[in-house]
Structure 1
Amino acid sequence: MNLRRDYRNRASLFDSIEEGGILAPSYSSHEIDEYDNDRAIDGLQDRVNILKRLTGEIHEEVEIHNRALDRMGHDMDASRGVLSGTVDRFKMVFERKSSRRMATFVASFLVLFLLIYYLTR
C-alpha cells in the first residue's frame, strides 16, 4: 500500500511539469476555450480578408470582360450593318443580266487569283 501512495504522490508531483522542468500555468478550461476561440476567430478573419480581396479581383475581372463583350457586341452590330449593305448590293448586281456577267467575271478572277496564290506559296 505504501508503494501505491508513493506512486500517486510522484504522479501528482509531475502532473504540472512540462518538458524542461517548467511549471505550466494552471488555466481553467473556460480560459483555454476562450483562447482557442480567439485563435479560431483570428484565423477566420484572415480567411475572410483573403476572400474579400479575391472577390474584389474577380469583380474587377468580370467588369473588364463585360466591357470587352459590350464593345464586341457594338462591333458586331456595326459589321452586321456593313454586311447587310454589301449583300443588298450583290442582290442588285445579280438582278440585272449584264451585271450577272460582270459578277461572274469578278468571281472567276477572284478564284483564279486565289488558286495562283496557293500554288506559288
Structure 2
Amino acid sequence: MNSRRDRSNRTALFDGIEEGGIRANYSHEIDEHENDRAIDGLQDRVNLLKRLSGDINEEVESHNRMLDRMGNDMDASRGILSGTMDRFKMVFEKKSSRRMFTLVAIFVVLFLVIYYLVK
C-alpha cells in the first residue's frame, strides 16, 4: 500500500516536467500500472517457487530418512549374511576334508588292488 502511495507522490512531483505534459503523465501512469501488474505477477511466481521449494525440501528430507533406514537395514542384513556365510564355509570345509579323505582312501585301495592284481 505504501509503495503505491509513494509512486503516486512520485508522479505528482514529476508532473509536467517531461515533454508533452499530459501525454507524458498518462504514459507514465500506464507504465506504472504495467509495472504494478508485473510486480504482482512476479510476487505470485516467487510465492509459487517458495511453495515448490518447500515441497521439494520435504520430499528430499523424507527420501534421506528412507535411505538412512534402508542403509541400517542393509547393515543388519550384511551381518546376518556374513554369519550365514561363515557357517557355510565351516560346513564346506568339513565336507571337503571328508571328501579329500574319501578320495585318498579310494586311491590307496585302488592302488593296492591294482598292485595285487599286477603282482
TM-score normalised according to structure 1 size:
0.57
Match of 2:33 among 32, 35, 47: 35
Which sits farther off after the overlay, 27-36 or 68-77? 27-36
Q: Distance in 2 between matches of 1:58 and 1:100?
A: 61
Which whole-Å deviations, capped at 9, do the CAs of 1:39-83 have from their partners, x for residues lacking one? 100011011101100110111011001100010011001100110
Amino acid at match of 1:33: D
Whether 2:63 is the aligned partner of 1:71: answer no
Match of 1:96 among 90, 94, 97: 94
SS in 2 for 1:28: helix
Give the greater-gyration-radius structure (CA). Answer: 2
Aligned equivalent of 1:46: 44
Match of 2:79 among 78, 81, 99: 81
Q: Return closer, same or farther for 1:99/1:65 CA change in 2, 3 Å cut-off.
A: farther
Gaps of 5+ in 1: 1-25, 102-121
Note the C-alpha offset of 1:97: 3.1
Query: Where do residues 99-118 of structure 1 align in structure 2 (5 Å cutoff)?
Result: none
| Runs of 4 or more above 6 Å deviation | 98-101
Percent of matched pairs sharing the same residue? 80
Query: Where do residues 47-62 of structure 1 align in structure 2 (5 Å cutoff)?
Result: 47-62=45-60
Question: What RMSD, in angstroms, separates the aligned Cα atoms of the two structures?
Answer: 2.1
Q: Distance in 1 between matches of 2:98 and 2:62?
A: 48
TM-score normalised according to structure 2 size:
0.58
Note the C-alpha offset of 1:100: 7.0
Gaps of 5+ in 2: 1-22, 100-119
